[in-house]
Structure 1
Amino acid sequence: MSTPEVLRYAAFTSRPDGGNPAGIVLDAAGLDAATMQRIAAEVDEAETAFLTGTTADGAHTVRYFSPIAEVPFCGHATVATAVALAERGRVADDGAVRFDTPVGVVAIAVTRDDDGIRASFTSIEPSVRELDDADLDAIFDLLGLTRDDLDPELPPRLANTGNTHPVIVLRDHETFDGFTFDPDAVRALLDDRGWPATITVAHRAASDRFHARNLFPVGRITEDPATGSAAASFGAYLRALGAVAVPSTVVIEQGGHVGRPGELTVEIPESGGITVSGYAVRMP
């Protein structure tokens, strides 16, 4: 079987050199899991999305693979794939499209403006729970941080909108900017705890604006440039803590530490799924 066309799009940016690159295979109906894993490893972006068919009610079935494993959900690849479909006239006139993912059906809205094509996905129902002290200490040991570095108003939690993300918010921007880590040690911790995605480390820049670094060592990647699933989980985290008035919209800046700045808009309703939106653009 010949290898299908693999597209590359950058999500949460309107520039090909910004945001988070994703691989996309729009015709993956004939591919088995081993072949999808091989292609994702060859693409070597954080995730590659594979459209494997459609359901009886018209949703696209989607699977996501990092270079090393299948993951339950990927926000930036979802945004990128929706934009790629829209560019090819494969989204309804009202901009609505649905992806049937391993974590459930995700609704997406596609819009156009002078800056390009923008996609918004609404997560599944979130869950937020305490982060065990042992897990928090393990993360701090890897980052060279202590509990004194935490923002006292935003305590650590585990948040999930399809993937489980430990969330840690630091008090000082200098500490947020300056921490370093051993990627192999972070990967070992993620694997040991069964966390399939990123560790979110954030800093509150203003009441409605946050900076984020998402640690995700896979292949040549150490930090994810823009993480849609983590942004949704972060919105759920803020709501669970009562840290923002709901409904509310916050902006997350991410990717500057790895030279690919991006921006994610997070809409936090009073209940239900969290909506994350951003542009996506094809990469050369």
Structure 2
Amino acid sequence: MTDLTPRRPPEPPVGEAAMLRVFVDPAAGPRGGNPVPLVLDARGMQAADMQALAAHYGHESAFVLPADAPDHLCRLRFFVPGHEMEMCGHATVGTLWALRQWGRWTTPHARVQTLSGSVDIEWDEARGWAWISQPEVTTSPLSAEQGRAIAKALRIESTLCAINASTSRVKTLIRMPSVAALDALAPDFDAMRGLCEAIDSTGLYPYAVAGHDVYARQFPKASGYPEDAATGIAAAALWGYLANVRVVPTDRVCTVRQGVAMGSPSAIQLRGRKDAPGCWLSGETRWIP
């Protein structure tokens, strides 16, 4: 039998990217997940260089720099084609997985720096996953008028429930009546930026609950593309909100499935923290040949 698993690539030279695919759903084939261009050594790169690399690849990109705080493994910066981000869940998960494969991270636990603050990390030897921490969710209600504006942008008659939620960046959670209704969404993307600015959000995250899983789609405010295949921090905010209202359990792993409507099925894994408020976020990562 031929082994089709991509081999571990050599460490890329300074300023160059290796390619990962994060939050892959193994049951859905090799094309799922969200791509991440990863620059292992970004020393000497300016912000404009990092943004240009993200624009070249068209994906959220991660850049590894030496830590400037004690007891941290490294410092991470993240760019999309349009701007820098304080935090990127799937890029962090993928970067730490790659650092493990290259032997750059060998301890069971560590911390990394981001513009959003320090992130706790732990290695799951059994699954071969890197888990990263997300803080306790904060939420804020939206008015009826704002709900109508969201429904208009999504081209639906009304929203069942819409609320802003955040573990690092604010996402707007919109409950849909079914997975079929979620998959059928065809938003007005031209209205997305103005709407998100009006409701103080960085993207719309409609979702539907189906059994033990949650399905979601992410329409970002201004990332340079209309839809995201897997959004870790949005999934963390959604998990926190659903856990607070007791829709999902906190004592076992919950899967948020995203990217299905795009043809890039992703599986984002979340579980509650026992040692602190918030949750752990992880998923399967693979090399892109």
1:17 is the counterpart of 2:31: yes
Do the aligned partners of residues 39 and 100 (structure 1) sit closer, same or farther apart at CA in structure 2, a change above 3 Å counting?
same
1:119 is the counterpart of 2:130: yes
Determine which of 167, 170, 173 is the counterpart of 1:164: 170
Equivalent positions of 1:1-284 (< 5 A) are: 4-13=15-24, 16-45=30-59, 47-54=60-67, 55-94=69-108, 96-113=109-126, 117-147=128-158, 150=160, 155-196=161-202, 198-206=203-211, 208-216=212-220, 221-269=225-273, 272-284=277-289
Give the secondary-structure state (helix, strand or coil) at the position aligned to 2:66: strand
8 Å CA contact retained: 2:133, 2:278: yes
Give the secondary-structure state (helix, strand or coil) at the position aligned to 2:71: coil
Q: Which moved more, 1:240-249 or 1:80-89?
A: 240-249
Q: Where do 4+ consecutive residues of structure 1 move more than 6 Å? A: none
Do the aligned partners of residues 52 and 195 (structure 1) sit closer, same or farther apart at CA in structure 2, a change above 3 Å counting?
farther
Deviation at 1:128, TM superposition (A): 1.6
How big is each residue's C-alpha offset from its partner over 1:60-113, in whole Å with a ceiling of 9 and x where there is no partner? 11111111011111111011101111110011242x232211111111222345
- Name the Cα RMSD after superposition: 2.2
Unaligned segments of structure 2, at least 5 residues:
1-12
Do the aligned partners of residues 75 and 211 (structure 1) sit closer, same or farther apart at CA in structure 2, a change above 3 Å counting?
same
How big is each residue's C-alpha offset from its partner over 1:29-78, in whole Å with a ceiling of 9 and x where there is no partner? 22221221111111211x11111221322331111111101111111101
How far, CA to CA, are the matches of 2:191 and 2:182 in structure 1? 19
8 Å CA contact retained: 2:173, 2:206: yes
8 Å CA contact retained: 1:67, 1:218: no
How far, CA to CA, are the matches of 2:197 and 2:64 in structure 1? 26
8 Å CA contact retained: 1:131, 1:166: no
8 Å CA contact retained: 2:182, 2:207: yes
How far, CA to CA, are the matches of 2:197 and 2:80 in structure 1? 14
Give the secondary-structure state (helix, strand or coil) at the position aligned to 2:201: coil
Deviation at 1:251, TM superposition (A): 1.2
Give the secondary-structure state (helix, strand or coil) at the position aligned to 1:221: coil
Identity score, percent: 29
Letter paired with 1:22: V
8 Å CA contact retained: 2:257, 2:265: yes
8 Å CA contact retained: 1:109, 1:119: yes
How far, CA to CA, are the matches of 2:30 and 2:79 in structure 1? 21
- Judging by fraction of residues, say which structure has more strand: 1
Q: Which moved more, 1:166-175 or 1:187-196?
A: 187-196
Do the aligned partners of residues 66 and 134 (structure 1) sit closer, same or farther apart at CA in structure 2, a change above 3 Å counting?
farther
How far, CA to CA, are the matches of 1:255 and 1:201 in structure 2? 12
Do the aligned partners of residues 178 and 19 (structure 1) sit closer, same or farther apart at CA in structure 2, a change above 3 Å counting?
same
Q: Which moved more, 1:34-43 or 1:182-191?
A: 182-191
Q: TM-score, normalising length from structure 1?
A: 0.87
How far, CA to CA, are the matches of 1:246 and 1:74 in structure 2? 23
